[in-house]
Amino acid sequence: MLDEATQAALRQAVDSVEQLGLLFLHDARRPSLTALVAGEAIRGSWWGHPAGRRIFQVATALEERGDVLFVPLLSAKVTLVHRRLWPELVSVGESRAPWQLDPLPKRALELLDEVERTGRVRASGPSSKVLARALLVHSEQVHTKGGSHATELVSWRVVREARAISSRVEPERARASLEASAAGLGALLALPWKRKS
């Protein structure tokens, strides 16, 4: 059960991400969940901040509500993507554009093939990170039977089915929608297809 202050922070976070479409989990200069909950920009790690526990509770509650996906979208940082932008996000992920595929090493391509074939693969390391940052897969944190956390790479096909994302958006229109939301945060150039390598 969330205390009153955490519930208020959650409501504010829901309103913000719904209005903006995108929100950094943590950024010291641009709109972020950590600054919203803490009431101030946090430099460095937010885990040690006095509001760290509340930030974690709000982030967890947002994920459990099912209104946002956590994706390394802006500046390769964890970004909250509101459900209204999920069709655009999935469309960009499934587009297999040159900016996504051209820089991939062989091992990452093999891992991508495995994720596409099976729908879900537990993986970690550089190849899994490069696939998630290129938006080729959705990366999820899962609890193992042993009580630890692990990363699973999930195909966008599986995400589309699990989240009932039925509408499809042309990749160009999808990028334009995400660009408009990113620009509202002052983060247009932080999108992966806009970033300089």
Q: Which residue has the higher pLDDT, 146 or 92?
A: 92
Q: What is the DSSP letter of 46?
A: S
Helix, coil or strand: residue 74: strand
- 26 and 113 in one domain? no
- pLDDT computed for residue 147 by the predictor: 78
Name the pTM for this structure. Answer: 0.93
Would you say residue 72 lies in a domain?
A: no
Would you say residue 10 lies in a domain?
A: yes
Domain limit, last residue, from 37, 65, 93? 65
Helix, coil or strand: residue 188: helix
Domain that holds residue 96: 83-197
Would you say residue 169 lies in a domain?
A: yes
- pLDDT computed for residue 142 by the predictor: 83
- 94 and 59 in one domain? no
- pLDDT computed for residue 179 by the predictor: 98
Structure confidence by residue, pLDDT tens digits, 11-36: 999 999 999 999 999 999 999 999 99
Would you say residue 119 lies in a domain?
A: yes
Structure confidence by residue, pLDDT tens digits, 153-182: 999 999 999 999 988 999 999 999 999 999
For residue 67, give the nearest of 22, 33, 18 by alpha carbon.
18
Structure confidence by residue, pLDDT tens digits, 107-152: 999 999 999 999 999 998 999 999 999 999 999 988 778 778 889 9
- 113 and 31 in one domain? no
- 99 and 25 in one domain? no
- 122 and 25 in one domain? no
Number of separate domains in the chain: 2
Q: Are 148 and 141 in contact (CB under 8 A)?
A: no
